[in-house]
Chain A
Amino acid sequence: MAIETAQLHHLAHLARLDLPVAEEQRLAQDLNALLGLVAQLQDAAVDALTPMAHPHDVAASLRPDRVDEIDRSSELERIAPLMQGGLFLVPKVIE
C-alpha cells in the first residue's frame, strides 16, 4: 500500500517531526520503496512462530530496589536548553 502525502503528514505528526515541503516527495518515494522491499516478509511461512523481540529468552536481571542515584540536577541544568528554578521551561501549553 503506497504512502500518499496525507499519510506522510499523519506519520510526521505522530513522530513530532516537521517536514519541509521540499523533502516530502522524496521521503514518500523512499518510504514506498522500502515498503516494497519489506513486502517479501508477507510471503514467509512464519504464522506458527512466536515473535522474537529479544535475542535471549531470559528474563531481564533485576537489581535491588534501593535508591542509588545521586543528585545530578545541577549538572543536568548545565546541559538543558532552558531551565529556571530547577524546572525545564517549555512554551506555554495552557492559555
Chain B
Amino acid sequence: MSALTLASLRAAGQNSPEPVERALAAAQAVAPLNALISLDAEGARRCTAATDAPLSGVPFVHKDLFCTRGLRTTCGSKMLADFVPPYDATIVERLAKAGAVTIGKANMDEFAMGSSNENSAFGPVCNPWDTTRVPGGSSGGSAALVAANVVAFATGSDTGGSVRQPAAFCGITGFKPTYGRVSRYGMVAYASSLDQAGVLARSAADCAEVLQVMAGHDPRDATSVERPVDDYRAALELGVRGLRIGVARPLFGAGVRDAMQATVHAALRELEAAGAVLVDVDLPSLPLSIPAYYVIAPAEASSNLSRYDGVRYGHRAENAKGLRDLYGRSRAEGFGTEVKRRILTGTYVLSSGYYDAYYRRAQQVRRLIADDFARAFAGVDLIAGPTTPDVAFRLGEKTADPLAMYAADINTVAVNLAGLPAISLPAGFIDGLPAGLQLIGRAFDEARLFAAGHALQSRSDWHLQLAPGAVR
C-alpha cells in the first residue's frame, strides 16, 4: 500500500467501515513504536457520520492533550494518567462534526515539554524511519503514526516547534497556524501565549483540508481571533509564480549540519524552478530566541501548572499530613523531571527580584524578534530555512544534557514568539533519514504557505516516501 492520504482514503470508498478497521489493525501492528497512549476501538466503531461531511469516515488520532469527553486525556503525565475529561476541546468537536473518526490518543512529551518524546510518563516513542532514533517532540506520537501509515492525519500542538520538528524528523508535513487561528479551548495549557493547535499529515493539501475544519473563531477562547478563515483548498492551486521567498541566513547558521543546508537549498531550488523568487533575508536576533523562549515558556508553564494540586482532579498523594504536604507531594509524584525543571525555572524568573532581569527582559527580546520578522516580511512573502539543524537523533543521545536538547529548537521557537504560521515540508533525505524545509508566513497568511507547500509537493515525492517501519 502506498502512503495514506485523504484522496487515497476517498478513492477506497468513503464511509465504508474499512478505513477505520484498517487503521485499528495498523495501530496494533506498530504497537512497538509506542506511539499511542490510548486506543479507542470501541469508540471508533461507534462513530457514524453524514456521508457529505468533509472528513466523513476518516480515521485519525488526537495528540493526548486535547480533552476528549469520556476518553482519558493524560498529557503524557502521571499527573493526568486517569483523567477522563467531562467535555470535548473545540477542535475535537469540530473534527467529529466533520466526520473524522478518532481511533485513539497519541503519545507525547509530558505537558508538551520536550523535543524528543522521551519525556512521556508512558515511555518514549520510536521513529518509524529508524527505531533507535527519536520521532521528535512534543507531538512525537502523532508524527510517528502518520509516518507509519496508520492514519492520514493527526492533531498536534506547537509551542516551540512541537508540530514542525517531529514532522521533519518523521518525513511528513506539519502545519503550525497563526496564534489565535485555532481555538485553544480544551487543549491542556503549557505556555498560553505560545501554544497553538496544529496538524500533521502526509501533504500540504491534507493539512489544508484538516485546518479548514479546525480553524475559526471560538467564543470560548478569548485569544481566538475573530477573522474569516481563508479558503485553503482553493489556495492550493495558487502556485508560487512570482512569490518572493526570503532565504534566512541565520536559519542556515552555526550548528546546522552542512548536509542539511545542502538538502534544504536543493528543495528551495525546486520552488525556484516552479517560479518563486529566492532572495536573502536576515533575522539578526534569531540566536536570542532560545534564551527568550526558555524564560517565557517556563514562566507561563509554572503559572499554568499550578492548577495541579491533587484536589479537584489529577494525581493525589496518599496520607497527606496537611494541605501543604498534599500539594507538595501530589506534584512531586505526578510530574516528571523535565516538567519540574521548567516549573522551577519559571518560578525563579517570575520571583521577586528577578522578574525584571529575566521575564521582562525576555519579553523585550521577544519584541525584538517579532520586529525582525516584520522587517523581513516587508520585502518577501515567505521566509525559508531548515526546520531542524540535523536529522532525528538517537534515543538517549541528548537526555543527559537538557541544554543540548533546547539548542536544537533554534529554527522553530522564534516563530512561536512572533505568533506566525509555518509549515514543515519533507525536503529529501540525509543518510536515509528525512530532512524538513520550513516555510514561515505572515500572520494569518496560512493560504500562501499551503500554496507553496503544494507547489513543492507537486514537483517532488519526498512526502510520499514510506518509512521502513510503516504499514504497507
> Please, which residues of chain B bring their CB within 8 A of the CB of A78?
84, 86
A46 to B443, CA, bound (A): 23
CB of A16 within 8 A of CB of B316, answer no
Smallest Cβ distance from A59 to chain B, in angstroms? 10
CB of A93 within 8 A of CB of B361, answer no
Most B C-beta atoms less than 10 A away, residue of A47, A54, A55: A55
Interface residues on B, range: 35 or more
CB of B362 within 8 A of CB of A38, answer yes
> Please, which residues of chain B bring their CB within 8 A of the CB of A90?
311, 323, 326
> Please, which residues of chain A bring their CB within 8 A of the CB of B315?
81
CB of A51 within 8 A of CB of B292, answer no
Smallest Cβ distance from A9 to chain B, in angstroms? 11
* CB closest residue in chain A, given B308: A16
Smallest Cβ distance from A24 to chain B, in angstroms? 11
CB of A15 within 8 A of CB of B361, answer no
> Please, which residues of chain A bring their CB within 8 A of the CB of B316?
81-82
Smallest Cβ distance from A55 to chain B, in angstroms? 2
Smallest Cβ distance from A21 to chain B, in angstroms? 12
CB of A31 within 8 A of CB of B344, answer yes
Q: A15-B344, A16-B328, A30-B341 are in contact. Are A44 and B335 (CB under 8 A)?
A: no
> Please, which residues of chain B bring their CB within 8 A of the CB of A23?
337, 340
Smallest Cβ distance from A22 to chain B, in angstroms? 12
CB of A79 within 8 A of CB of B86, answer yes
A41 to B368, CA, bound (A): 11
A10 to B208, CA, bound (A): 48
B379 at the interface (CB under 8 A from A): no
> Which residues 43-80 in B have Cβ within 8 Å of A in the complex?
none
* CB closest residue in chain A, given B420: A55
Task: Pick from B313, B345, B419: contact of A56, CB below 8 A.
Answer: B419
CB of A49 within 8 A of CB of B332, answer no
A6 at the interface (CB under 8 A from B): no
Smallest Cβ distance from B162 to chain A, in angstroms? 16
CB of B193 within 8 A of CB of A53, answer yes
Q: A31-B345, A55-B419, A61-B219 are in contact. Are A37 and B364 (CB under 8 A)?
A: no
A18 at the interface (CB under 8 A from B): yes
CB of B358 within 8 A of CB of A46, answer no
CB of B291 within 8 A of CB of A52, answer no
Task: Pick from B222, B295, B340, B349: contact of A17, CB below 8 A.
Answer: B340
CB of B364 within 8 A of CB of A46, answer yes
CB of A79 within 8 A of CB of B84, answer yes
CB of A76 within 8 A of CB of B288, answer no
B277 at the interface (CB under 8 A from A): no
Q: A14-B351, A17-B328, A72-B86 are in contact. Are A46 and B368 (CB under 8 A)?
A: yes
* CB closest residue in chain B, given A39: B291
A84 at the interface (CB under 8 A from B): no
Smallest Cβ distance from A38 to chain B, in angstroms? 4
> Please, which residues of chain A bring their CB within 8 A of the CB of B294?
34, 37-38
Q: A38-B294, A82-B316, A91-B325 are in contact. Are A17 and B225 (CB under 8 A)?
A: no
B367 at the interface (CB under 8 A from A): yes
A35 to B348, CA, bound (A): 10
Smallest Cβ distance from A78 to chain B, in angstroms? 8
> Which residues 50-81 in A have Cβ within 8 Å of B in the complex?
50-56, 58, 60-63, 72, 75-76, 78-81
B386 at the interface (CB under 8 A from A): no
Smallest Cβ distance from A28 to chain B, in angstroms? 9
Q: Would you give the 0/1 interface string for A1-32, flagging 1 where the beta carbon is closer than 8 Å to chain B?
A: 00100001001101111111001000100110
* CB closest residue in chain B, given A89: B311
CB of A41 within 8 A of CB of B362, answer yes
Most A C-beta atoms less than 10 A away, residue of B223, B326, B345, B349: B345
* CB closest residue in chain A, given B325: A91
CB of B406 within 8 A of CB of A52, answer no
B280 at the interface (CB under 8 A from A): no
> Please, which residues of chain A bring their CB within 8 A of the CB of B87?
72
* CB closest residue in chain A, given B320: A91
4 more contacts with CB within 8 A, not counting A20-B332, A47-B364, A78-B86, are A19-B340, A44-B285, A55-B370, A90-B323
8 A–B pairs (Cβ distance < 8 Å), ordered by A: A11-B344, A15-B306, A37-B403, A40-B291, A49-B367, A60-B223, A90-B323, A93-B322
Listed in ascending order, the chain A residues whose CB lies under 8 Å from chain B are: 3, 8, 11-12, 14-20, 23, 27, 30-31, 33-35, 37-42, 44, 46-47, 49-56, 58, 60-63, 72, 75-76, 78-82, 88, 90-93
